[in-house]
Structure 1
Amino acid sequence: MTRPSPEFSSHVSPGVHVTGSAARRWPRGRPDEVARLHAFSDGVFAFAATLLVVNLRIPDSYDDLLTALGRVPALALAFAAVVSLWAIHRGFFSRYPLADTWSVALNAVLLFVVLIYVYPLKLLVEVTSARVLGVQVGTLGVMAATDVERVYMIFGAAVIATCVVLAALHLRAWQLRETLGLDALGRVELVAGGATYVGIAIMAGVASGIAALGIGTAWGLPVWILLTVSPLLELARTTYLRRRAPGVRQP
């Protein structure tokens, strides 16, 4: 098993949750820096969630109330997506407490992408609710077909950007694998995680291409591709880890 480098300490600053072997990988003198990174990132994700409802107003009539309630399914899906991204981000930095310049820069890019990601995400789920589930929200249900295709393409680009940055963060952790003190099991887990995001990015590109061709956009085929492939890739990752490295801690 690879031992952590001498400059690492088991000290963890209050308020930051680190468990298992990750608690032994914190650089001496840097826990507070990583804690600030956590706090700042949490704030950005909270702001992203706020952007989902920032243009909603309190209904002042029954019809307005029905319109507002019609947005609830789309809002719930969009909120769940943001929370999922937050959980992925939180899990990565809890497991690999990186605070070097490159990691901070990649984290900043990821947070910026998340803020941009919210806009096509919100429009996409509302369009899908209107066209697939029959939930009418304003004029979304009658949006031109070409506009719907563009929404899918923009969202696909946002997913690709998010996955590319997440894969880059995994690559950075791999470059620092000796410093982090990752053993053979930890390295397998790290590679599998990065490969999963590369796979999702590729499938998002395929979904965007399908949207550009106008195939299945009337019933949300590009979205269903992502909703189906992402869990399958995660299942494949988990299965691979169990077979390759029994007993490895799952995120």
Structure 2
Amino acid sequence: MYKHSRGRITALSDGIFAFAATLMVVDIGTTIDIKNIGAQLPLFTSFGVAFFVMMLLWKVHYNFFQRTKYVDNWIITANILLLFTILFYLFPLKTLINSITQQIGMTANDLSQLFMLYGGGFVLIFASYSFLYWKAYKRDIENNNRLKLKFFCSHFLIFVIIGIVSVILSAFQLGINFGFPGFVYALLGPLCYFNGAFFRKKHPSVFT
């Protein structure tokens, strides 16, 4: 038996995602100079990137609650932490994009702190997703496809590891002027591919 209301949790979560989108719109509305709209295009770019990143995070959140009906107090707590981090994470992401698109002069220390803030949010978000899947895998014994929950736990754990590597590189300012702490996120593609290939080989029936 599932003791908690999944509908209440998803409704609250959708409301917070909508609130985050509203905050971004209000923020861009207070910084745009309509008389010089051409020079403001980088602000629209950062808004667009942050918005679609948020939508991708919402889709990951949506997929989790489609794959399991299990909810307990641990899942509720992890979900709250996740939503809090997403709200906080969007603004350093916009700042990072603005620094690139507007070529804002930033010192190595500034870049280091920004990458660490970005990486810390990235780690917390995907650690929350990984924990949600791990908890559901362990406890949702009524689920007919529990191995898929296990796969996504390991999948998002890769994101956590890469985020930690980026934070470490940022803390020691290794290649910071060349954006190396950002480039390490490109490793997500091949690592996730090999993880998926390994899991499919070990459990060929999971994704059929």
TM range (shorter): 0.7 to 0.9
Is 1:219–2:181 an aligned residue pair? no
Whole-Å separation in 1 of the counterparts to 2:26 and 2:175: 31
Partner of 1:10: none
Moved over 4 A (4+): none
Partner of 2:51: 79
Partner of 2:72: 100
Partner of 1:147: 110
Whole-Å separation in 2 of the counterparts to 1:78 and 1:213: 27
Partner of 2:153: 194
The structure richer in helix per residue is: 2
Partner of 1:59: 33
Whole-Å separation in 1 of the counterparts to 2:71 and 2:147: 22
Measure how far apart 1:150 and its partner are. Answer: 0.3
Residue segments in structure 1 that go unaligned for 5+ positions in a row: 1-6, 8-26, 130-134
Of 166, 183, 201 in structure 1, the residue corresponding to residue 129 of structure 2 is 166
Letter in 2 for 1:214: Q
Letter in 1 for 2:115: Y
Measure how far apart 1:175 and its partner are. Answer: 2.2
Q: Quickly say closer, same or farther: Cα 1:219–1:46, change in 2 above 3 A.
A: farther
The number of equivalent residue pairs is 206
Contact 1:164/1:201 (8 A) holds in 2: yes
Is 1:118–2:90 an aligned residue pair? yes
Letter in 2 for 1:40: L
Measure how far apart 1:247 and its partner are. Answer: 4.3
Is 1:235–2:193 an aligned residue pair? yes
Give CA-to-partner distance per residue, 1:134-161, whole Å, 9 cap, x none: x32xxx6112221111000111111111
Contact 2:92/2:114 (8 A) holds in 1: yes
Whole-Å separation in 2 of the counterparts to 1:232 and 1:51: 34
Contact 1:200/1:229 (8 A) holds in 2: no
Greater gyration radius: 1
Residue segments in structure 2 that go unaligned for 5+ positions in a row: none
Matched-pair identity in %: 27
Of 129, 145, 163 in structure 2, the residue corresponding to residue 204 of structure 1 is 163
Normalising by structure 2, what TM-score?
A: 0.87
Normalising by structure 1, what TM-score?
A: 0.74
Measure how far apart 1:232 and its partner are. Answer: 2.5
